Amino acid sequence: METKTITIRVNAEVARIFEEASEEECRKMEALLSLKLGNATRSKKTLEEVMSEISRNAQARGLTPEVLESILNDE
């Protein structure tokens, strides 16, 4: 499979984890991200539907508005 390098913005904690990971762990994370981005871009769902689904999944996993605000303000 041909690959190409792109640049994306992530929060500082995610960047730190990626930067400190071993080469093998980085390859695994890149493969997972590639699959997720591929699935998201091939989806027939609208952006609003995808965002709603992500929100429902996050809430089901315990992400409250307060926790989200804390994460976003923890720069």
Task: Give pLDDT, residue 63.
Answer: 83
**26 contacts 18 by C-beta, under 8 angstroms:** yes
Is a pLDDT exceeding 90 seen at residue 74? no
Domain ranges, residue 58: 45-75
Q: Give the pTM.
A: 0.55
Instruction: Compute the distance between CA of residue 55 and CA of residue 68 in angstroms, rounded to an integer.
Output: 11
Whether the CB-CB separation of 40 and 50 falls below 8 Å is answered with yes
Residues 9 and 34 in one domain: yes
- One domain for residues 57 and 32: no
21-59, pLDDT tens digit by residue?
Answer: 999 999 999 998 898 888 878 878 887 888 888 888 888
Residues 32 and 6 in one domain: yes
Whether 70 and 51 map to the same domain: the answer is yes
